[in-house]
Amino acid sequence: METRSNHVLVGAVVLILLAVLALFIVWLARLGGGNEREYDIFFRQAVDGLSPGSAVTFSGVPSGQVKQIAFWQPDPSLVRVRISVNPDVPILEGTTASIQGSFTGPSTVQLDGAMKGAPPIECPQENPRAACPLGVPVIPTKAGGLGALLSSAPKLLERLTTLTERLTELLGDRNQNSIAGILANTNRLTDALADRGPEIAATLAETRVAIQKFGDATQQIGELADTTKGVVSDDVRPTIANLNRTIASARKSMETLDATIGDARPGLQALSKKTIPEVGQLVQDLRVMSTSLAAVAEKLDQGGATSILGAPKLPDYEPKKK
């Protein structure tokens, strides 16, 4: 009975010591990690090879570890990775995160891109939930080299498989015969061109001569254009200037004529309204007087001057004889 009591006592003491040791280790861990900073990273690519405890490096320097990996409920296409880094790591504006994978070991979170003089990545004072949805700053991501390649490997293999199938269909027996016919026709065309080599050379020479003549003709046209421009400048322009002066003189003459007509318009109106009617009355009076003079002249012809002074003499009466 006493031996059993000693075993129980020893076991209890050992358990108490183990519990104290565990609490001490946890305390040391909290004490050592009390200054670590936490950040969230939202990856759209697969996070194969990452697990809690995976290393976090900054430009290749070990700087922290992965704390948590979980889905982001508002957007299931994102994977949230919580990391903790040492307080001396410069997580500044411009820092990006990527997954650095390997074929032989676990993946790591690679941080780089901090700009000199930039402020640190922190949650803003105004509307912090928009930039820090879970209360810690967010580091933007970029596509990692090997990690992105490994994540896109299935799509790449699928495309390679499709390409291989299409190449197999393209190089089938029927298409091979068609390709052989095309190559044979190409060979015949090449032989025909080789036989026509001298003629082609002669044609090229004639073409070269024609191009040269065309260049000479173009130059002559340019010279003719320069000559025409000179003629226009020397002959036509003075004539145009004289014509402009003549037109200006004619315009002045028309203006003077308009002014003269304007000045003569009152006299013309008086002539048409007063003088012309008086002249008409005078002509009528002259016509009456002319008629009277004609009658007087007729009387003078018939009866002499006495016909004008007295009544006409009656003829003598002679009685009839019985």
Length of the chain counted residue by residue: 322
Q: What is the pLDDT of residue 86?
A: 92
Min mean pLDDT across 113-127, 132-146, 306-320 is at 306-320
Which residue in 93, 87, 101, 9 sits closest to 46, CA to CA? 101
| Residue 30, token pair as written in the block | 């909290």
Positive or negative: CA dihedral 31, 36, 39, 43: negative
The answer to whether 122 and 112 have CB atoms below 8 angstroms apart is no
Q: What is the pLDDT of residues 162-201, one digit of tens each?
A: 888 887 777 777 777 777 778 888 888 888 777 777 887 7
The answer to whether 75 and 103 have CB atoms below 8 angstroms apart is no
Q: What is the pLDDT of residues 223-280, one digit of tens each?
A: 777 776 665 556 556 666 776 777 777 677 677 766 666 665 665 565 556 666 666 6
The answer to whether 55 and 65 have CB atoms below 8 angstroms apart is yes
Q: What is the pLDDT of residue 260?
A: 63
Min mean pLDDT across 82-86, 227-231, 314-318 is at 314-318
Q: Which residues contact 133 (CB under 8 A, 6 or more apart)?
A: 40
Q: What is the pLDDT of residues 194-225, one digit of tens each?
A: 777 788 778 888 888 888 888 888 888 877 77
Q: Please state, rounded to an integer, the average pLDDT across all residues of the chain.
A: 76
Question: From CA 43, how far away is CA 56, in angstroms rounded?
Answer: 15
The bridge status of strand 55-58 relative to strand 96-100 is unpaired
pLDDT above 90 coverage of the chain, percent: 14
The answer to whether 131 and 138 have CB atoms below 8 angstroms apart is yes
Mean pLDDT, rounded, for 108-117: 88
Higher pLDDT, 291 or 135: 135
Angle at 70 between CA 67 and CA 73, to 5 degrees: 140
Q: What is the pLDDT of residue 282?
A: 66
Q: What is the pLDDT of residue 203?
A: 82
User: Is 68's pLDDT higher than 70?
Assistant: yes
Q: Is 63 exposed, middle or buried (0-12, 13-18, 19+ CB in 10 A)?
A: buried
Residue ranges of the domains in the chain?
A: 33-151, 154-195
Q: What is the pLDDT of residue 111?
A: 93
Q: What is the pLDDT of residues 17-39, one digit of tens each?
A: 888 888 877 676 655 555 789 99
Q: What is the pLDDT of residue 5?
A: 60
Q: What is the pLDDT of residue 25?
A: 79
Q: What is the pLDDT of residues 126-150, one digit of tens each?
A: 888 888 999 899 999 986 555 555 5
Q: What is the DSSP string of 179-199?
A: HHHHHHHHHHHHHHHHHTHHH
pTM over 0.85: no
